[in-house]
Each structure stands twice: as structure tokens, then as C-alpha cells.
């Protein structure tokens, strides 16, 4: 393997969960499907007919997911836009926000940090619509969406921003 191939291999794994399968590995075809409830999917599929690889999933209520799928579930990097105007950009695991990312509420408040099982859980920072962080500053360890311990965590916020940027850039695929 020459330097170019090695660099490409390393770069393709940035932002993925450790030891996770590559979402596009196993994708055998590209196509679309409209479900009975008017949900639509356009993207890559595996041998078993599951969403697998990059894809675009549009729900009947207007909620939209663009990103990586593994065996039918959002898994890896992706962007989720809710019908009410809220959105999440970052890492997913088995259909949940899980890992690092940014969640914006419809009112403009955002959380940059760690998520577990679809909830704010871990280190992170809240920023309100007026670009303040509250007083005292809402930064530290959150569990089940509540701030438990105050602590500066700029490295976690930066990783969340990086994952969100990578997810956003991936969502510009042709589907």
C-alpha cells in the first residue's frame, strides 16, 4: 500500500465509532423506495434489502435524515432535521444520537458535546439564542439532559464541532 492509499484509508475512518463496520462496505445497489406511510428512502442497499451505506430518508411528517446507514439503522455520521425546525448533526449508533455532535432546538438554543442513547449525556456546552452560555456558564457533565457537574471541556466541544462539520459535508451527496 503506498502513502496515498494509506492516507485515504485513515481519512475514511475519521469520525467513525471504533471497530465499527464501514457503512458503505456491503452496499450492493443504489435505488429508492416509497413506503406505505409515504416515507421515502433513496440511497445504498445491502444484499438483504436493508438501507446500508449513504442515504436520504424523508419521513411523512417532514423529518429528514441524511447520512450513513448500517443494516437498516442510522449509524455513523449523519444529519437529522425535525419537522419543528430542530436539528442534529454528528454521530449516530443504532438509530440514536450517540457520540459527539451538535443539537439545535427550534428556538435557537444548541448543545455541543456528547450524546448517549439519543440524550444529552456526557461533557458539553449549552449556547442560548443570544450566544451566551448562561450565568453561571452551562458547561460540564450532563446526564439525562441535566447539568450535574460544571467543568470546562473545550476539547469535547471541538470534537463535537468537527463531527458535525464532517456529517454536514457528507450530507451533500447526490441522493
User: Mean pLDDT over residues 39-43, rounded?
Assistant: 96
Residues in the chain: 175
Listed residue (72, 160, 153) closest to 114, CA to CA: 160
Residues pairing with 67 in the sheet? 55, 78
Q: Residue 17: pLDDT band by 50, 70, 90 thresholds? A: very low
Set of cell numbers at residue 97: 444520537
pLDDT tens track for 46-100: 999 999 999 999 999 999 999 999 999 999 999 999 999 999 999 999 999 999 9
Question: What are the extents of the domains in the chain?
Answer: 29-172
CA atoms of 6 and 13, how far apart (whole Å): 11
How much is the pLDDT for 4?
A: 26
**Three-class secondary structure of residue 87 per DSSP:** strand
Q: Give this prediction's pTM.
A: 0.83
pLDDT tens track for 117-150: 999 999 999 999 999 999 999 999 999 999 999 9
Q: What's the CATH number for 29-172?
A: 2.20.110.10
Amino acid at each position: 500500500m503506498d502513502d496515498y492509499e494509506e492516507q485515504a484509508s485513515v481519512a475514511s475512518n475519521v469520525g467513525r465509532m471504533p471497530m465499527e463496520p464501514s457503512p458503505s462496505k456491503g452496499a450492493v445497489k443504489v435505488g429508492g423506495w416509497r413506503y406505505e406511510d409515504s416515507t421515502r428512502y433513496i440511497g445504498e442497499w445491502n444484499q438483504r434489502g436493508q438501507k446500508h451505506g449513504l442515504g436520504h430518508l424523508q419521513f411523512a411528517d417532514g423529518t429528514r435524515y441524511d447520512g450513513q446507514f448500517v443494516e437498516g439503522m442510522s449509524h455513523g455520521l449523519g444529519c437529522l432535521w425535525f419537522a419543528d425546525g430542530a436539528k442534529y448533526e454528528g454521530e449516530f449508533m443504532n438509530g440514536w444520537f450517540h457520540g459527539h455532535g451538535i443539537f439545535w432546538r427550534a428556538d435557537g438554543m444548541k448543545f455541543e458535546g456528547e450524546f448517549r442513547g439519543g440524550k444529552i449525556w456526557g461533557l458539553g456546552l449549552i449556547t442560548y439564542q443570544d450566544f451566551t452560555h448562561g450565568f453561571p456558564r452551562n458547561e460540564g457533565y450532563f446526564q439525562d439532559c441535566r447539568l450535574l457537574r460544571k467543568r470546562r471541556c473545550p476539547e469535547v466541544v471541538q470534537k463535537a464541532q468537527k463531527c458535525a462539520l464532517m456529517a454536514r459535508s457528507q450530507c451533500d451527496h447526490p441522493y
